[in-house]
A and B are shown apart, each in its own frame.
Chain A
Amino acid sequence: MDVTSLGFYSENSYYGYKGSMLSPLIKFLCLFQSVTESFGAAISSLNAVHLTDTVIHRSKRMMLDTLGVGLLGTSTAVFSKALQYSQFFKSVERSSVWGRSGMTLPPQYAAFVNGIAVHSMDFDDTWHPATHPSGAVLPAILALAETLPTQTSGLDLLLAFNAGIEVQGQLMRFSKEAHNIPRRFHPPAVVGVMGSAAASAKLLALSPAQCVHSLAIAASSAGAPMANAATQTKPLHTGNAARRGLEAAKLALLGLEGSQAILDLESGFGVFYSDYSPSELPGTNGGCGGGFRWVLEEQDVAIKRFPAHLGMHWVVDAALEARAKLGASGEPDLCKVQKVVLRVPPSRYIDCPFPAMEHQARHSFQFNACSALLDNQVSVNSFSGPQIDRPALRELLAKVRVENPQDNHPSFDKMYCEVTVEMEHGESVTARCDTFYGHWRKPLSQEDLVGKFEANASTVLSQEAVESVVDIIGNIEKCPDCTVLRSYLQMSRPTTHLFREHLG
């Protein structure tokens, strides 16, 4: 007997009714599954015609940025440990490890380590409501594409990528809690795995029902506590999201089933939020001439200019402007600073007066403001041990005071940062940043986005490879076989070998 055809006899409804009472109730109870079904239907039926110019443009930028930060991230200790662990597994199908010439892993583990690399330095893209969407998706679909028997075109890849991003965006709109600073679960671990499952399901061309089950199975892998988001384990949240979403899709392909109402039920995906109110995705038919309305079309991502929490970008831009004002008549003498006041939104997670470690420095308004004042820039190199410990910086940190004005909301859409620098001789300058350069309201120019990629990628790849990746992603929608990326992502610099040995 086909359970699914008897709508409300689904395994997820707890009520049974005999014979004639069925009809009025079926309609009502069938609604129980409709949000989930609408996701399954949308993922399965999305195709190239639904991709708009804006979505293609934005998602290609996200892909390039993600590859760059991922390649840079392969130099981190956490990546190294994850790689060591992952090499434990044998498989027939293999997928590439970014930045490591000739190295492959089972596909899920390639997704795992590459996903970790992407998030390892807090350098990856950020969305609103807050999550880091691309790192959970791109590593999974690239790993999967390498194993498929038929060629995966660049357009297929773009479509799968966007399915994965879209699902995440939609899920985050199902609760107010998702709009606030996360307290319990780290968002990439909640929505990221669902995005990866959706993207993988898309690439595997699963049926609507199988797409539903991919999401359901993935939900049982969602969620990791915020406490670990302040530790070395944090990047694993993204790595695991990529890996387990891919796994969920593969299990669904084999026929495993989960709850068909997973997105509808409070006891389903709703467990991760205290206020959960899902709604159906609009169909992909669009009705009167409308196409599919992508979340990415309405809400772009922010791209970071340096590897730190997004909030740091406001305070840095304000600090740089303040410094420029101070230096209007020559180089400012920062030893003569009396006081620095930061007016920032309240957020305990990024308020750290004296960071002792890299992770803390990336999550400290104070540290980033002072680095900007001292160095007139904040970059990848600003967070090293020596930089954190330097006396000039510690001295300046001691002069910082933080204020939380009432009108400064801890939201990436609304916050601002003000920096006031008071000098000993009485001069005082104030600068304010409402929208940092790289925010979705003020996106990085294409030149600067590519520049960031080149700077990151060239720490690991050869010049030829760097340029080729820029070229391939730039034209990905015309690319007949996206796996050409693979060889370039592994085409490492000749000296990289020595570099890595030195790092141990």
Chain B
Amino acid sequence: MSATLRGLHQSALEVIQRPASEDSVTDSFGQFIQGVQPHHLTPTLLHRSKRMVLDSIGVGLLGSTTHVFQLALQHCQHMYAPDDVSSVYGRRGTRLSPTLAAFVNGVATHSMDFDDTWHPATHPSGAVLPALLAVSDMLPNNRKPSGRDFLLAFNVGIEVQGRLMRFSNEAQNIPKRFHPPTVVGTLGSAAACARLLSLERSQCSHALAIAASLSGAPMANAATQSKPLHIGNAARLGLEAALLSSIGLEASPRVLDDTSGVAGFSAFYEDYAPQPLTSPEEAGLRFLLEDQDMGFKRFPAHLGMHWVADAAASVHKLLLGELGSQGMGRGSQVVGQVQDILLRVPHSKYINRPFPESEHQARHSFQFNACSALLDGEVTVLSFSQEALQRPDLLALLGRVRVEHPHDNPANFDNMYGEVQVTLVGGDVLKGRCDTFYGHWRNPLTNESLKKKFCSNAGAVLPREKVEGLIEAVEGLDSLEDCSPLLAQLQ
């Protein structure tokens, strides 16, 4: 027998022949998804995940006003008929099949780059929440999940993403190849949906494996209008994977394991070292969200922008002090006074754009965000409108920006800083530095700030009663016997 020639196929053969390996990483994930219990949700987890749910709904509702959302919705409505099942954010009376609703709501969530960001970097909630809402709509009226079950499924989806990102060093760096939400997000959605659908342990594993064949989109598209579809598809396809698994489709039982010669989930990373999850039956199960909180954005732009915006805002205050006036003509006064602007930021091609030409580019430009904050004292949703992009004051300032990449400023959301140094015409130099922007996990938004962001976002498309109704439903989610009050107010 050719022992030397075994390996790939032989290992696949061995896996199939022996009963589902109790010690495989893949199996441990299946066990976790199926076996985790409501009592595992600590007060910290409940608090943090409810904030994520609220923020995610809010940015999704605001995102339903974007062009790309409209396009995605139109596509679904053309290619498919109305299906009175799952609600579409912010569109009264519009419902779609569950996977399609997950898709468009996911697109909405990521459409403005306003959704939550974690460390290692991904946007976890947008891949999970739309899918869970869609599934909840799908379940019969007398079998809706309780708020606690819903939250548990949500946390499963987040936890799976976090764990997967810790399987490689590559995931901790700036992504170069695959856009993280499309790698871990799809499996997160599959895990969450498998949980909410009460799949069996092996079905939970197969849902992850099926999802792996639906994962991975190149970074190049993350700089385009297609990016929000990455989250939309993660939500949709994860749900699809769970549904396919529920009717018996099977895939690789070792998809998360590192089997030599056969790339499973490891296909997406250059270095891959998976670890099994602690069994829910053992003590010591600890969710990552307990130790690593979420970052929430204050304005719709790449997370890195928040550092320079805060730094530039502090320089703006100093500048106003110098200029000794407020109100009319402020912009041109600023422009008149500023000779040179130096930004000290981490090196990252993706967010270094001296003259952004589109909304998307502006959301990914250190220079643009710094100058906007310098002019206005803050960056908001309105800072990225077409008019704002083209205002002469801003363009004038952009022309005076230089960028430096200090060695001590790594491109890493945990360690980076942003420094803005403005040299005035008279020779004075004003400096601002931000190590931790307000909204970062080390300096979290207060509940009040988070609610304010939500009201502003949701209020763009929903009437006041529903905005307040949603806040109430999410705040009390873990006590709701039935999550219908949440579902009923999304449009």
Contact = CB atoms under 8 A, between A and B. Distances in A.
Interface of A: 1, 3, 6, 9, 11-12, 14, 16, 18, 78, 81-82, 84-85, 88-93, 106-108, 183-185, 189, 216-217, 219-228, 230-233, 236-237, 240, 247, 250-251, 254-262, 265, 267-271, 346, 348-357, 360, 363, 401-404
21 contacts: A1-B357, A11-B360, A12-B224, A14-B352, A18-B354, A85-B243, A89-B97, A89-B100, A189-B213, A216-B224, A220-B218, A226-B264, A231-B250, A233-B209, A233-B213, A236-B213, A258-B221, A267-B218, A268-B221, A349-B8, A354-B13
B259 interface: yes
A401 B1 contact: yes
Nearest to A91: B80
B220 A84 contact: no
Contact of B212 (A228, A247, A350, A352): A228
A216 B221 CA distance: 7
A-B CB proximity, top 6 nearest: A220-B217, A348-B8, A227-B264, A268-B220, A224-B213, A233-B251
B357 A9 contact: yes
B83 A16 contact: no
B247 A90 contact: no
B358 A11 contact: yes
Interface stretch (B190-198, B226-234, B428-436): B226-234
Contacts of A231: 209, 250-252
Given A16-B355, A91-B79, A228-B252, A237 B213 contact: yes
A351 B81 contact: no
B326 interface: no
B248 interface: yes
Prevailing SS type, chain A contact patch: loop
B447 interface: no
B218 A351 contact: no
A269 B178 CA distance: 10
Contact of A228 (B5, B17, B213): B213
A234 to B, nearest CB: 9
Contacts of B267: 184-185, 223, 225-227
Chain B contact-residue range equals 35 or more
B9 A233 contact: no
A319 B72 CA distance: 55
A254 B74 contact: yes
A43 B254 CA distance: 40
A267 B177 contact: yes
B5 A271 contact: no
A356 B17 contact: yes
Nearest to B213: A224
A403 to B, nearest CB: 7
Contacts of B353: 14, 16
A93 B226 CA distance: 25
A351 B6 contact: yes
Interface string B3-43: 00111111011001100000000000000000000000000
B75 interface: yes
Nearest to B206: A233
A356 B10 CA distance: 11
B349 interface: yes
Contact of A221 (B6, B17, B217, B219): B217
Contact of B79 (A85, A108, A271): A108
B361 interface: yes
B350 A232 contact: no
Contact of A81 (B12, B217, B248, B358): B248
A312 to B, nearest CB: 13
Contacts of B16: 356-357, 360
Contact of B230 (A216, A220, A254, A357): A220
Nearest to A106: B80
Contacts of B424: none
Contact of A233 (B217, B252, B254): B252
Contact of B263 (A6, A226, A236, A259): A226
Contacts of A228: 209-210, 212-213, 251-252, 255, 264
B9 A350 contact: yes
A256 B71 contact: yes
Nearest to A232: B250
Contact of A250 (B75, B268, B354): B75
B223 interface: yes
A346 B251 contact: no
Nearest to B261: A348
Contact of B81 (A90, A216, A223, A237): A90
Given A247-B79, A403-B2, 15 more contacts: A1-B357, A82-B244, A221-B233, A222-B217, A225-B255, A225-B267, A227-B252, A227-B262, A228-B264, A230-B9, A232-B249, A257-B226, A351-B2, A352-B13, A401-B2
Nearest to A357: B16
A404 B7 CA distance: 15
Given A92-B81, A233-B209, A233-B250, A256 B68 contact: yes
Contacts of A271: 177-178, 216, 218-219
B486 interface: no
A11 B10 contact: no
Contacts of B250: 231-233
B74 A12 contact: no
A230 B17 CA distance: 13
B357 A3 contact: yes
A88 B1 contact: no
B384 interface: no
B265 interface: yes
A267 B259 contact: no
B18 to A, nearest CB: 11
B244 A6 contact: no
A260 B226 CA distance: 11
B289 interface: no
A262 B252 contact: no
A360 B261 CA distance: 17
Contacts of B226: 216-217, 220, 256-259
A216 B354 CA distance: 25
Contacts of A3: 357-358
A225 B264 contact: yes
Interface in B339-357: 349-350, 352-355, 357
Contacts of A230: 9, 12, 252, 262
A346 B8 CA distance: 12
Given A185-B263, A225-B263, A225-B264, A259 B221 contact: yes
Nearest to A107: B79
A90 B210 CA distance: 23
A348 B176 CA distance: 31
Contacts of A403: 2
A279 to B, nearest CB: 18
B341 to A, nearest CB: 15
A490 to B, nearest CB: 21
A1 B265 CA distance: 41
B189 to A, nearest CB: 15
Given A185-B267, A227-B263, A271-B178, A257 B214 contact: no
Contacts of A224: 212-215
Contact of B249 (A78, A93, A269, A270): A78
A122 to B, nearest CB: 14
A121 to B, nearest CB: 16
A93 B76 CA distance: 12
Contacts of B8: 348-349
Contacts of B361: 11
Contacts of B399: 18
Contacts of A350: 9
Given A1-B357, A16-B355, A227-B252, A348 B2 contact: no
Given A11-B223, A356-B16, A254 B1 contact: no
A348 B5 contact: yes
Nearest to B80: A91
Nearest to A17: B354
